[in-house]
Structure 1
Amino acid sequence: MLSPGEELVKRWEREQVCLKERLLEENTEAWQESGSFSGLARVGGVDLSFIKGDDLNACAQLVVLSYPDMQLLYEDSEMVTLTAPYLPGYLAFRECPPLLQVLKRLEGEKPCLMPQVLFVDGNGLFHYREFGLACHLGVLSDLPCVGVAKNLLQVQGVIRSEDHLSQISALKKAGDSFPLAAATGRILGQALKSSDSSSKPVYVSVGHRISLNTAVRLTHSCCRYRVPEPIRQADIRSREYLRRRFPSGPP
């Protein structure tokens, strides 16, 4: 007989398999085929920031920026209480519900500002079962999504080896990248030098309704610093919201 925790994992595994059947790993929008992304006007970013010392209460943040000039068009911050436990490989079941909530509020109140593509602070296909947070959120929102992680997820044979570090050293200018190949040979993402001033790459992977090549080009075009501006602004604004609400730490 399975324990409650084992039953939960089994249920989440089944849900991931079902959602993965709806995943699209190719471009679906006309603007994605343009070298200059002609027709793209709104890019979104989402993030969750936690109160220090509290892994249950967080600020769910959505920003929508204009493209290509990265000016703020919309922002929403909402305090949420996470109810699902954290289990490695199943982060989406914990973080997706509040992020979907702020997206649905925008869709209901100001649909003209819905992002045409969403940047997610986390992985997409570059995941244990090739269905990370960016895939989960992309499929459920039906938005083109790009996963951008700041740290390497060591998965499917991709490890922080001497060869990996050597490849990072070979990234000389912004826009340089190299593939993240699983042990099977399947390309799960790209390590991207996103700005000339950054010594560390970001790890880009497909979330939904976009090709890897397009995701990498778009990520680079949205970077003023190491992290693409939609994610960077979501992170800055969520942390500032928490500082204002809880200047002395957790209530």
Structure 2
Amino acid sequence: MNAAPAGEELVTRWESEQSRLRQLLVLEDTEAWQRSPDFSGLQRVGGVDLSFIKGDDVNACAQLVVLSYPGLELLYEDCRMVTLTAPYVAGFLAFRETPSLLDALRRLEAERPHLLPQVVFVDGNGLFHYREFGLACHLGVLSGLPCVGVAKNLLHVGGVQKSGEHQSQVAALQRGGDSFPLEDASGKVLGKALRSSDKSSKPVYVSVGHKISLETAVRLTHCCCRYRVPEPIRQADCRSREYLRRHFPAADA
């Protein structure tokens, strides 16, 4: 029998690792502040993002921000260029992006532990994923921190797609905070579509990353939105892109 191609071997290994880590996933509220109607006790919310130089899918700017809550003012940021070593494979984004994001969280924990976020917003999916273990789950389990996945685009998974029914449900979201469940073909709820702000009719897609319930994740996402995207993710994205513009102007990042 011929050996499997290297790419196939890698995917098999990654699938096994996702399956192993998924056994550690916690899909419910674990912190006292999560059970408070106004999130009393929550003081620091984090956001992470990677931005790439245009035309370069290996070198990226990894950004971590920590904002105050409920004021959403910047308390801390970590911004540095990283070289991604894992290839891009659909459904396995976490293996490319988690190491540098985890490094940023660990630097913060080592150098300024009093600023470690109590929850991290991730630009991507959590449970709403082909194998129910997206980037937000991966980062949450490895960091041990509550994580929320917030995606701007709908992942077509488990029978969920931009059908006429889905578009009708989106149109029915009248105000910020309105949401509807994202159910797979078996009826399991993997996340929610949320109209996050009165200012934008386009929803975001919220799913559990780790150590938080879906209802709490949706409610907190809405509370952290000044615009469509939650402020921790928006700030991480803006700051990483600005870093690339300043340091790599010729690349038109």
Give the shorter-chain TM-score range. Answer: over 0.9
Match of 2:234 in 1: 232
Equivalent in the alignment of 1:63: 65
Q: Find out whether 1:6 has 2:2 as its counterpart.
A: no
Amino acid at match of 1:95: E
Give 1:242's aligned residue: 244
SS in 2 for 1:168: helix
Q: Counterparts in 2 of 1:16-27, with a 5 A limit?
A: 16-27=18-29
Work out whether 1:140 is the aligned partner of 2:120.
no
Q: Deviations over 1:40-82 (max 9, x none)?
A: 0000000000001111100000000000010000001010010
Q: 1:3 to 1:250 in 2, by over 3 A?
A: farther
Cα deviation code 1:60-112 (max 9, x no counterpart): 00000000010000001010010100000000001000000111110110000
Match of 1:151 in 2: 153
Give distance in 2, aligned partners of 1:246 and 1:102: 22
Scaled by the length of structure 1, the TM-score of the pair is 0.99
**Conserved? CA contact 2:45–2:119, under 8 Å:** yes
Cα distance in 1 for partners of 2:17, 2:205 equals: 25
Residues 160-203 of structure 1, C-alpha deviation per residue, up to 9 Å, x if partnerless?
Answer: 00000000000000000000000011100000000011021000
Q: Output one character per residue of 1:130-156: Cα deviation in whole Å (capped at 9) or x when no partner.
A: 000000000000000000000000100
* 1:96-175 paired onto structure 2 within 5 Å: 96-175=98-177
Pairing partner for 2:39 from 37, 40, 58: 37
Provide Cα deviations, 1:185-226, integer angstroms capped at 9, x if missing partner: 110000000001102100000000000000000000000000
Distance verdict in 2 for CA 1:250–1:4, change over 3 Å: farther
Aligned to 1:88: 90
Equivalent position of 1:218 in the other structure: 220
Aligned to 2:52: 50
| Secondary structure, aligned partner of 1:59 | strand
Taking the aligned partners of 2:191 and 2:238, their CA distance within structure 1 comes to 26
Where do 5+ consecutive residues of structure 1 fail to align?
A: none
Q: Which amino acid aligns with 2:31?
A: E
Code of the aligned partner of 1:149: A
* Partner Cα separation in structure 2 for residue 126 and residue 184 of structure 1: 14
Report the CA distance between 1:250 and its aligned residue.
7.7
Separation in structure 2 between the aligned mates of residue 17 and residue 150 of structure 1, nearest angstrom: 26
**2:204 alignment partner in structure 1:** 202
Q: Aligned partners of 1:16, 1:63: CA distance in 2, in Å?
A: 26
Distance 1:9 1:182 in 2: 24
Instruction: Give secondary structure in 2 for the equivalent of 1:73.
Output: strand
Contact 2:245 2:252 in 1 (8 A): no
| Counterpart Cα distance in 1 of 2:169 and 2:218 | 17
Name the aligned partner's letter for residue 237 of structure 1.
R
Cα distance in 1 between the residues matched to 2:150 and 2:237: 13
Equivalent in 155, 173, 182 of residue 180 of structure 1 = 182
Match of 1:26, as an amino acid? E
- Give the aligned length: 251
Q: 2: CA distance between counterparts of 1:6 and 1:226?
A: 38
Identity score, percent: 73
Structure 2: where are the runs of 5+ without partners? Answer: none
